Structures are given as C-alpha cells and as structure tokens.
Structure 1
Amino acid sequence: MTAPARTYLLLDAAGRPYRSDTAGAWGGYRRGRIYGRLDCPSALRAVAAGGYVKYRVFFADEATAIAAGYRPCAVCCPDRYRTWKTTR
C-alpha cells in the first residue's frame, strides 16, 4: 500500500491559502506580514518558543510573498529589507 501524498498549505498572491504538493520555499509571519528564509534564525527562535507557530505561513516563492503584501525580514534578508525600507 502506498502512503498518501503529502500536501502543504501555502498562501497565494492574494494571501489566500491553497494546497500544494510542493513545500513552500519561503516562510512568513502573518501578524507582522513579514517573509523570510525557512532557516531564518529569528523565525527559528520564535518557533522554538512556541508563540509564532499558529501565525506561520508559507509561500511558493518570494514574488508571491511580496504580491501578498509581505515585507522582507530584516534578519535573514537584510539587503532586501533595506531596499524595501527605502522604497516604501
């Protein structure tokens, strides 16, 4: 018997959730509308503390996170964050 395929819950460009067979490449924090790398030290600390998990979201790519209205993380994406900050 084959195990059922795993699906992942991602957000689309409008910020709506959808199921995907492919895991998200970027993570986000819904309350702060911040996106960043999946290995972001700041996000990993927050997840380990337990308070961040229920607001965690995922995106297929960076363009989708931006289109959904999320900004780059200052910790794991400092160059992108600086650009975002100067252009807003």
Structure 2
Amino acid sequence: MPSRTLTTYDGAGRETAQIYQVSESEQWRTTLSYDGDRVHVDPPTGSVATTEISDARGRVTELAPTPAPRQRERTTPSRTPTTGRATGQA
C-alpha cells in the first residue's frame, strides 16, 4: 500500500498541517496554528498537544503541554489540491 505525508501551508508559508495517508486515505493529521510568539501543535488523538513559545529571534524558549480541552475543540482544516505538497513517501 503506498503511503505519503502531505504538508499544507498558510499564506505566510508557515506549515499548518502534516497529513499521513495510506492509499490516499487520511490516517492521521497534526495541525499547527500560530498566535504571535506561540505555535500550537495539535497531534493525532492519543498524543499530547503542545505550545511552543519563541523569543524575538524565533528560538523556542518554552515547550509546554496544552490542556486537553484544546484537543477536544480542534477542527479539521479544509484541504484543497493547491495547498497540499507531498513531502515524502514511506
């Protein structure tokens, strides 16, 4: 079965999702959202969501687990062929 990981980006060129597919069927997704100096990382169900806090030079200065409610409220972003880029194949 062919598999691949797709990466989507926002208009600023920042990664917004990593989507793992097997035979073109999504198996899991990790989403990233941006809020000033913070990057919120929402992994697939069963993993711990985190928030990365960066300094003015873009260096991560703190990595903190995100409370569980953030994962429950997560929505799946829409996907379009123009935003997905294949980043590799397993």
TM-score where L is the length of structure 1: 0.25
Query: Relative contact order: is structure 1 or structure 2 higher (C-alpha 8 Å, sep ≥ 6)?
Result: 1
Instruction: Give the structure with the larger helix fraction.
Output: 1
TM-score where L is the length of structure 2: 0.24
Instruction: Give the structure with the larger strand fraction.
Output: 2
